[in-house]
Structure 1
Amino acid sequence: MARLTNLAGIATLLLSKIVTANYSLLKTYDASNFFSEFQIVNIPDPSSGFVEYVDAATAESKSLVGIRNGQVYLGADSITDNTTNGRPSVRVESTDYFTTGLFIADIAHMPGNACGVWPAYWTSGPDWPNSGEIDIIEAINLQKTPIITLHSGTGCTVANTGSAAGSVLTNANCNTGCSQSTTDTQAYGDEFNAVKGGAYATQWTTKGIAIWFFPRASIPADITAGTPDPTTWGKPLTYFVDSGGCDFATHFKSNRFIFNINFCGWAGNVWSSFPECSAKAATCKEYVAQNPSAFTEAYWLINSLKVYREGTTKRFVSEVAHQKGSFCEPWKRIFEGEEVVTCKLFNCDKAPDGTAAARRDK
């Protein structure tokens, strides 16, 4: 539909500008605390992949998780032949939840290109899709570049005004998955690993979500120094902004971070679209089950994930949680009376009125 007035175009232009903010470090996840701040989740795969997400004890015994040379290691099984329940792998989820902020992941290695593999670094909320999902790194099989996608409840339509050249908005409706394809081959898989990885920076505001990728040799000095300034980074790899039908504050909130290595699922659904893969086996499941050595490069090496918030970090005062249905709502972390962006799950106890509620003061 054609725009009715120039005002709509002006609004889109304003929203497409990178938000100016002074950021201060709120939290760092790295080798010193990663496995106490991220849970190894043993669940059936919600995406119907051919994967067995193992529990912490199994992950440790199979050497699928650990600290290697000061880096966080998350891997998939590359030994077991003829797997019947899916290839053993790991899925980790942060115990903290966030709403807006600047998130910088320094990743040294990601799962390499391989038939059947489906790795992801992403966020998701407890009330999916209404609390949103941000797929920061995701691709399948032998794809050379990542597909960056948002998911939301109904009523969120976006534009990609302000994205780097070569990024294409392939779907604007976030309820069905609004995606941008990219052309930066160093941002994913084997070529990412060849340049020793790099940094993915995600700026999430109430006006939009911008994602940059910087190869190792091109990480901005302000990121290295811990004083990130997105206004100096140039156009992001992808930028999602309101096109007149998306309130980001409503559609994206209380998300946790997730790293996982999946198999088949989406990759299996389009197996025949990859002739190099379909020539190896009739189905994705058959190939993944019978070719463990194909997945020796299916692992993450994470240097750090740093969380920044606008302004100066305030003194932590208390955490509050309450139960909704069968799970606890995220903690509301309160800094000197101000609710801010990070929350934490808690094993709630029953309150006198029969609901589950808890409070912990610091």
Structure 2
Amino acid sequence: MRLSQPTTLATFLLTSRFAAAAYTPVDTFTSTNFFSAFKFFTDPDPTNGQVTYLDLPTAATSTLIATAPQASNAIYLSLDSTTPSLPKRPSVRLNSLKTYNKGLFVLDLQHMPTGCGVWPAFWLLGTGATWPINGEIDIVEGVNNQRNNSMTLHTTAGCRIRSEGFTGHLDTADCDVNNATQGKNMGCGIRNPAAGSFGAGFNANGGGVVATEVTSQAISIWFWPRGAVPAELSPSSSSATTPDPSKWGTPVARFAGDCDIDAHFKDMQIVFDTTLCGDWAGQTWTKGECAAKAPTCEAYVKDHPEGLTEAYWLVNSVKVFEQGQGGKKVGRRERRRGL
């Protein structure tokens, strides 16, 4: 192309940059196709939780999963909250059949698991190598009666983030799971200062939307409570198929700095899981208000199923947008957090 004026060249370059950055839909997971797009993980919990993960037929028979419960269009994922005196409670963990390297991942959520002993997470997990060589991105995560969402990256050595470009609170800056100064497996973490970003407060407001953008430059996460979701992320919006993160303002978390994102995050599955106690909820039991309910987390979840009635997900949708080629099917070999 021939450009005669410098201003025309600048305009061309700017237009080209935004054209290249346009997002288009790759996958949409709703109640119509959700369970066919995910594999049920049935190995022992890598985080040592007090759960047994069920396969799809068993989970369905046990009514731990459903689509369109109570006339809604949501996906229902839960754990056992009725059987008394049960050391390990049936639960579900789902890993997407496809993997992704880059993209925009938008979760529309009505309700998340909450309660003492409960440890839910929605995350992206790198596959095909020993954890955490291909990385882990924890998007929605917390334990017990936590009120603020925790967002964390887990990597091998050589990934640190800067404390700028986001509205959240930086807890740890080194993403290396073997950083002994921070604590083993801590990774780099940013906490959402909004009390309604996790747990009971999130659910009381009817949930919200979380968007995660993964590029070669940064991993950014935005959160909007119900009632404040951008119009373009509404299912009825004409621009819902072409979301533009540049319009969303400063993200609540932005992981960028001395970190080669392309090298540390590859072939990632979308994961939902709910575990109990384990390496986080169990180890921090005595530090919060839940400690008054039982001497240990394990004792509480074993003998108090009535305390777990809010430990369920109601997922409206998960949408994936990419700038280039879509995700690929994951192979038979899967990696698990903590192994």
**One of 281, 306, 312 as aligned partner of 1:267:** 281
Q: What secondary structure, in the 3-state scheme, does the structure 2 residue paired with 1:218 have?
A: coil
Partners of 1:253 and 1:288 in 2: CA distance: 35
Task: Point out where structure 1 has 5 or more consecutive residues left out of the alignment.
Answer: 1-17, 312-339, 349-362
Distance 1:171 1:347, change over 3 A: closer
**One of 212, 231, 251 as aligned partner of 1:202:** 212
Partners of 2:330 and 2:189 in 1: CA distance: 29
Judge conservation of contact 2:155–2:176 (CA < 8 Å) in 1. yes
Partners of 2:126 and 2:85 in 1: CA distance: 35
In structure 1, give the amino acid aligned to 2:305: P
In structure 2, give the amino acid aligned to 1:190: A
Distance 1:20 1:110, change over 3 A: farther
Asked if 1:212 is matched to 2:235, the reply is no
Distance 1:20 1:56, change over 3 A: same
**One of 96, 107, 110 as aligned partner of 2:109:** 107
Q: Which residue matches 2:323? A: 310
**One of 135, 139, 144 as aligned partner of 2:142:** 139
Distance 1:42 1:19, change over 3 A: farther
Percentage identity across aligned positions? 42
Matches within 5 A, 1:151-162: 151-162=154-165
**How far 1:160 moved relative to its partner?**
3.5
Partners of 1:174 and 1:247 in 2: CA distance: 12
Asked if 1:122 is matched to 2:123, the reply is yes
**How far 1:279 moved relative to its partner?**
1.4
Q: Which residue matches 1:291? A: 304
Distance 1:292 1:228, change over 3 A: same
Judge conservation of contact 2:111–2:206 (CA < 8 Å) in 1. yes
Deviations 1:309-346, CA, capped at 9 Å, x for gaps: 116xxxxxxxxxxxxxxxxxxxxxxxxxxxx3511024
Partners of 1:282 and 1:20 in 2: CA distance: 56
Judge conservation of contact 2:202–2:208 (CA < 8 Å) in 1. yes
Instruction: Determine which structure has greater relative contact order: mean sequence separation of CA pairs < 8 Å that are 6+ residues apart, divided by chain length.
Output: 2
Asked if 1:235 is matched to 2:247, the reply is no
Task: Point out where structure 2 has 5 or more consecutive residues left out of the alignment.
Answer: 1-17, 178-186, 334-339
Partners of 2:113 and 2:195 in 1: CA distance: 14
Taking only aligned residues, the RMSD between alpha carbons, in angstroms, comes to 1.7
Query: How many corresponding residue pairs?
Result: 296
Deviations 1:291-316, CA, capped at 9 Å, x for gaps: 001111110011110000116xxxxx
Distance 1:66 1:278, change over 3 A: same
Asked if 1:178 is matched to 2:188, the reply is yes
Q: What secondary structure, in the 3-state scheme, does the structure 2 residue paired with 1:78 have?
A: coil
**How far 1:63 moved relative to its partner?**
0.4
In structure 1, give the amino acid aligned to 2:266: K
Q: What secondary structure, in the 3-state scheme, does the structure 1 residue paired with 2:318 have?
A: strand
Partners of 1:106 and 1:48 in 2: CA distance: 29
Distance 1:206 1:346, change over 3 A: same
Judge conservation of contact 1:53–1:91 (CA < 8 Å) in 2. yes
Q: Which residue matches 2:6? A: none
Deviations 1:191-250, CA, capped at 9 Å, x for gaps: 1111111110000001110000111211101122212111111111111111xx310010
Judge conservation of contact 1:20–1:231 (CA < 8 Å) in 2. no
Q: What secondary structure, in the 3-state scheme, does the structure 1 residue paired with 2:174 have?
A: coil
**How far 1:21 moved relative to its partner?**
2.0
Q: Which residue matches 1:31? A: 31
Q: Which residue matches 2:5? A: none
In structure 2, give the amino acid aligned to 1:198: G
**One of 284, 289, 292 as aligned partner of 1:279:** 292
Partners of 1:284 and 1:241 in 2: CA distance: 36
Q: What secondary structure, in the 3-state scheme, does the structure 1 residue paired with 2:35 have?
A: helix
Deviations 1:277-298, CA, capped at 9 Å, x for gaps: 1111111100000000111111
Partners of 1:347 and 1:118 in 2: CA distance: 27
Q: Which residue matches 1:330? A: none
Greater strand share, structure number:
1
In structure 2, give the amino acid aligned to 1:343: K
In structure 2, give the amino acid aligned to 1:235: T
Partners of 1:24 and 1:54 in 2: CA distance: 34
